[in-house]
Amino acid sequence: MALDKKYVKFNGRLVMVGFGSIGQGVLPLLLRHIDMDASQITVVTAEERGHQEADDFHVTFRVEPLTPGNYRAILEPMLGPGDFLLNLSVDVSSIALIELCRERGALYLDTCIEPWAGGYTDTSLSPSLRSNYALRESALDLKRRNPGGPTALITHGANPGLVSHFVKQALLEIARDTGRPADPPTDRAGWGALAQGLGVKTIHVAERDTQVAQIPKAVGEFVNTWSIDGFVGEGCQPAELGWGTHERHFPADGRRHEFGSDAAIYLMRPGVSVRIRTWTPMEGPFHGFLITHSEAISIADYLTVSDGGKVVYRPTVHYAYHPCDDAVLSIHEFAGKAYTMQPEKRLMMEEITSGVDELGVLLMGHAKGAFWYGSQLSVEEARSLVPHNNATSLQVTVAVLAGTIWALENPERGVVEPDEIDHERILEICRPYLGRVVGAYSDWTPLYDRGRLFPEDTDTQDPWQFKNFRVV
């Protein structure tokens, strides 16, 4: 696919809320692949960062932090029927912006469902009420109360977002390779039946980031390859996972929610304190962090199969993330200070010298054991493809681009999740920017080489039990 292809024409105004690493990285992609002019774009952000980059593209740049008291006054004059609000911010309520867009007849996309500032760590709320599960339920409630209308595509970055499309493609690949070739299902029930028929028990969003910089992490500094505020916010939320029907050992620190779909549980621990055994093709076995992400809930919910009102099949789904090594050191220091942010923050971009972000989905329990499907993108290739990106940011920004194009092509779908849209269309747009897109089988299980040094309490009857993945 040509890297200069225009996919769709857009005549409206595009308001970009937030202009950190993802906003700066997606801007050149939007102008490259959507037939529009820079004069149609306005950036509204809380800080000066990125001003020069916006000026380079001749985009209007406004430093106006959005709050519950001013967001309507600032945004209403910029939004009308057929306009687009691209929400790439932190600390701005996604629900508030979705409601405003629906009132104004504007389209909407975000990469995660955000609360207002402080919502992730508001200890006046129970862990259940400050979870991604609760945030997702609030968006689904909006959908139930006001079906249809202008498209609001929620949680469509790399993960959540792109990984939901990886799951669908992986299911089709496994079906083909196990003698069960299947045309892509056309509805939710069909995808659930396919996953159930293949015997998929557990799905990890398994990611290993090996990018390194010429500037080492300093004491008192949090370093990362993508939004530090976003990572810290979700890392402080309780660890969350879609809870599968095959599970026999409910975690001692696990809790169920008292509302909603009941597709997921949470642990009474922040995600950055929970480690998980997982596997990717380049790295092999490693320990990742069980960071809460919306896709752990939406994928598990979407693939659920019920019979007579009773759930008969659901996979366990969660994130298993090993960030770049400097970010791991940052987490260790951050956690040791009682989850208090370091005084300095540094987003790694131009100083990165090498490395790959290996992001994909690991589907386990089927006839061939484990299958990883995803993107292996080096920082060198990312830089050659799009300015203002590293390997991590490009996997997000191209998914934002693809979601924006899909929303413009499907402008009256109401509130919609990644799992509900055309995975083939999204992957068609994303593939040229994902480096090597790989599918790899493995005989790895979380019991691999266990007990070599110390005996452990494991379930040897079924390797795909969550207790076997969790690092105690």
Other C-beta atoms lying within 10 Å of the C-beta of residue 443: 8
Range of lowest pLDDT (125-129, 293-297, 300-304, 402-406): 125-129
pLDDT band at 457 (very low <50, low <70, confident <90, very high): confident
d(CA 362, CA 438): 12
Classify residue 164 as exposed, middle or buried by CB count within 10 Å of its CB (0-12, 13-18, 19+).
Answer: buried
At 207 the pLDDT is 98
Would you say residue 453 has pLDDT above 80? no
With contact defined as beta carbons under 8 Å apart, do 344 and 315 qualify? Answer: no
Task: Give CA–CA dist 222/228, Å, rounded.
Answer: 7
Greater model confidence, 451 or 156 = 156
Percent of the chain with pLDDT over 90: 93
Tokens matching residue 35 = 């037939």
Residue 153 has what pLDDT?
98
- Are 108 and 78 in contact by the 8 Å Cβ rule? The answer is no
Cα separation, 216 vs 223, in Å, equals 9
- The model's confidence at residue 459, banded by pLDDT at 50, 70 and 90, is confident
> What is the chain's mean pLDDT, rounded?
96
From residue 119, alpha-carbon distances to 92, 93, 141 in Å are: 10, 9, 19
CA distances from 181 to 165, 174, 362 (A): 18, 8, 20
Structural tokens at position 466: 């969550």
Q: How many CB atoms lie within 10 A of CB 370?
A: 23
Domains of the chain with CATH codes: 8-153 (3.40.50.720), 162-388+432-469 (3.30.360.30)
pLDDT score, position 222: 98
Per-residue pLDDT reduced to its tens digit, 378-397: 999 999 999 999 999 999 99
d(CA 164, CA 162): 5
pLDDT greater than 60 at residue 8? yes
Determine phi and psi for 20, rounding to 5 degrees. -85, -145
Whether 449 and 376 have beta carbons less than 8 Å apart is answered as no
CA distances from 460 to 225, 448, 456 (A): 37, 11, 11
pTM of the model: 0.97
pLDDT of residue 43: 98
What's the residue count for the chain?
A: 472
pLDDT of residue 466: 98
Q: How confident is the model at residue 182, as a pLDDT?
A: 78
For the beta carbon of residue 99, count every other beta carbon within 10 angstroms.
16
pLDDT of residue 189: 97
In this prediction, residue 425 carries a pLDDT of 98
The pLDDT, as a whole number, for residue 175 is 97
Report the pLDDT value the prediction gives residue 151, as an integer from 0 to 100.
Answer: 98
What confidence tens digit (pLDDT) does each residue in 160-211 have? 999 999 999 999 999 999 999 878 999 999 999 999 999 999 999 999 999 9
Mean pLDDT, to the nearest integer, of 279-299?
Answer: 98
Residue 166 φ/ψ, nearest 5 degrees: -60, -40
The pLDDT confidence band at residue 2, using thresholds 50, 70 and 90, is low
Q: Does the structure show a pLDDT above 60 at 1?
A: no
Read off the pLDDT of residues 119-137 as tens digits, 9 standing for 90 and up: 887 888 899 999 999 999 9
Q: What tokens were used for 160?
A: 């959540």
Q: In this predicted structure, which of 181-195, 206-220, 251-265, 454-468 has the lowest mean pLDDT?
A: 454-468
Is the pLDDT at 454 greater than 90? The verdict is no
Q: Tell me the average pLDDT across 420-437.
A: 98
Looking only at the bridges linking them, the beta strands covering 356-366 and 369-378 are antiparallel
pLDDT tens digits, residue range 302-323?
999 999 999 999 999 999 999 9
Mean pLDDT on 322-351: 96
pLDDT computed for residue 25 by the predictor: 97
Phi, psi values for residue 456, rounded to 5°: -135, 160
Given pLDDT bands bounded at 50, 70 and 90, which one contains residue 455?
low
Q: What are phi and psi of 291, to 5 degrees?
A: -80, 135
Q: What is the predicted pLDDT for the residue at 173?
A: 97
Label residue 362 by pLDDT band (50, 70, 90): very high
- In this predicted structure, the answer to whether residue 21 has a pLDDT above a threshold of 60 is yes
